[in-house]
């Protein structure tokens, strides 16, 4: 196929003199390089023309919001810049008459998980016009430390039980999370949603940088705010019906981690009962296959204090999961009471009848709750 007349000028993608064209591969007839087509697609998604910008010359930044004309969805795309539409002096949650601005939502997972476990809720939030991003905590997912525990299990339970974890040095300090929230929110307050052990880190970070949170939403989460490490609550009377400790396959102090074995098929029934009691079989099996073996012990054993002048000024909501086998409902309600003792206002409480994993079992309902705090109307 001949090169169209308007693509014959020197230097234009597809012209004989351009590095991308002409090409002879049958899948690339028309002498249009893949990179050029991708840039044009990016222009259409962003809803703008790339005037005076050559292909391949995108400005760089941490991330941006890309509007997609399907159900009003929004995606987070690393590396592309889009200027904010907020007028000077406006906060992300401020809305004028007829406006539908929303706060950014940042989601923090718990032990053995990664950002992947919240992907379906992120989809639901996008459908409600809410921009959200799920993070990998330090020691987890792409911020992991390359622990060999997953492979040690191939050499038998004895080796698996003694191998030092790659996340042994990770603590609850939360410096990484502070920076993640600051960058994503552009320094403005965000709705931060924390699940399970992620609640420990989010609690510490709220004390460090309360101006970044509006509000903090706990979902079946630890919230150790009275100076005790969250591990100390394992012996609390409110925790007597927990089942998660039976999943441990190593002495935490010996390996520097709270270690389970998701690679052991014989343990899958127990993992599903404890973590995914009301999750469909296919989703539960997929989730188990994605779990990490180690949760950083430092997150469970480090004590810190919060103050009414900092942590106590941040609005909070606690979503109680009444059939939780990891953090029993009585212990979740104890956290709510303790939070109230150092807060300027009582926490908002919502209850879900379900397991420790509402992000898989009740994702639409959970997304509606979160979207409400972000300033969006539910579906």
Tokens of 19: 């590095």
Per-residue confidence (pLDDT) for residue 374, from 0 to 100: 84
Residue 4 has pLDDT above 80, yes or no: no
pLDDT at position 352, please?
97
Query: Regarding predicted confidence, which is higher, 28 or 70?
Result: 28
In a domain, 173, yes or no: yes
Over 70: is that where the pLDDT of 136 sits?
Answer: yes
Its pTM stands at 0.72
pLDDT number for residue 168: 80
Residue 352 lies in a domain: yes
* Stretch 134-149: mean pLDDT: 76
Residue 359: pLDDT band by 50, 70, 90 thresholds? very high
Taking alpha carbons only, the member of 310, 109, 346, 95 closest to residue 212 is: 310
Handedness of CA 340, 258, 328, 138 (dihedral sign): positive
Cβ–Cβ < 8 Å for 159, 72: no
Q: Which two tokens stand for residue 105?
A: 């939502």
Q: Residue 214 phi/psi, 5° resolution?
A: -165, 85
Looking at the structure of the chain, the number of domains it has is 1
Residue 281 to residue 300: CA distance in whole angstroms = 30
Q: And the tokens for 203?
A: 């609690």
pLDDT at 97 (0 to 100): 47
Range of the domain at 172: 105-374
Say yes or no to pLDDT of 145 above 80.
no
Q: What is the pLDDT of residues 200-246, one digit of tens each?
A: 999 999 999 999 998 999 999 999 999 999 999 999 999 999 999 99
How many angstroms separate the Cα of 93 from the Cα of each of 207, 310, 332? Answer: 21, 20, 28
Does 56 map to a domain? no
Position 79 in a domain: no
Q: Is 111 left (phi over 0), alpha (psi -120 to 50) or beta?
A: beta
Query: Contact, 308 vs 266, CB < 8 A?
Result: no
Whether the pLDDT of residue 29 is over 80: the answer is: no
Q: Find out whether 36 and 14 touch, Cβ atoms under 8 Å.
A: yes
- Asked whether residue 296 is assigned to any structural domain, the reply reads yes
Q: List helix spans (H) across 33-91.
A: 34-46
d(CA 211, CA 223): 19
Alpha-carbon span 283 to 119, nearest angstrom: 12
Q: Is residue 58 part of a domain?
A: no
Quick one: pLDDT band at residue 376, thresholds 50, 70, 90?
Answer: low
Average pLDDT over residues 349-355: 96
17 found inside a domain: no
The whole-number pLDDT of residue 333 equals: 98
CATH number of domain containing 243:
3.40.50.1820
Rounded to 10°, the helix 119-127/363-374 angle is 60
Where is pLDDT greater, at 131 or 144?
131
53 or 136: which leads in pLDDT: 136
DSSP 8-state class, residue 158: H
Can you give the pLDDT at residue 373? 87
The 3-state DSSP class for residue 96 equals: coil
- In the chain, the percentage of residues whose pLDDT exceeds 70 is 68
Q: What is the pLDDT of residue 153?
A: 52
pLDDT at 87: 39
How large is the average pLDDT for residues 147-164?
63
Domain contains 175: yes
Give the pLDDT score at 174. Answer: 79
């Amino acid at each position: 196929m001949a090169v169209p007349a308007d693509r014959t000028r020197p230097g234009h993608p597809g012209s004989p003199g351009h590095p991308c064209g002409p090409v002879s591969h049958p899948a690339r007839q028309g002498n249009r390089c893949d990179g050029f087509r991708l840039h044009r697609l990016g222009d259409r998604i962003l809803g703008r023309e790339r005037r005076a910008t050559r292909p391949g010359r995108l400005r760089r930044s941490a991330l941006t919001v890309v509007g997609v004309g399907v159900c009003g969805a929004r995606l987070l795309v690393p590396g592309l810049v889009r200027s904010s539409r907020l007028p000077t002096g406006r906060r992300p949650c401020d809305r004028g008459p007829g406006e539908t601005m929303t706060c950014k939502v940042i989601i923090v997972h718990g032990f053995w998980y990664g950002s992947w476990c919240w992907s379906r809720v992120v989809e639901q939030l996008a459908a409600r016009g809410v921009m959200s991003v799920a993070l990998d905590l330090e020691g987890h997912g792409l911020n992991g430390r390359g622990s060999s525990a997953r492979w040690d299990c191939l050499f038998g339970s004895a080796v698996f039980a003694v191998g030092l974890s790659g996340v042994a040095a990770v603590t609850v300090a939360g410096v990484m999370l502070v920076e993640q929230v600051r960058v994503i929110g552009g320094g403005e307050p965000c709705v931060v949603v924390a699940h399970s052990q992620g609640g420990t880190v989010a609690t510490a970070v709220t004390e460090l940088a309360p101006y970044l949170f509006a509000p903090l939403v706990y979902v079946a989460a630890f919230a150790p705010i009275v100076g005790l490490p969250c591990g100390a609550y394992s012996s609390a009377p409110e925790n007597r019906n927990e089942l998660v400790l039976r999943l441990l396959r190593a002495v935490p102090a010996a390996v520097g981690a709270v270690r389970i074995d998701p690679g052991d098929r014989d343990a899958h029934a127990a993992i599903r009962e404890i973590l995914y009691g009301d999750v469909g079989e296919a989703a539960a099996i997929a989730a188990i296959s994605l779990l990490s073996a180690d949760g950083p012990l430092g997150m469970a054993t480090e004590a810190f204090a919060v103050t009414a002048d900092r942590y106590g000024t941040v609005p909070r909501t606690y979503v109680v999961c009444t059939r939780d086998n990891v953090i029993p409902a009585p212990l979740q309600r104890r956290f709510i009471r303790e939070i109230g003792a150092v807060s300027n206002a009582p926490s908002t409480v919502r209850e879900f009848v379900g397991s420790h994993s509402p992000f898989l079992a009740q994702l639409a309902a959970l997304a509606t709750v979160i979207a409400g705090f972000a300033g969006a109307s539910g579906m």
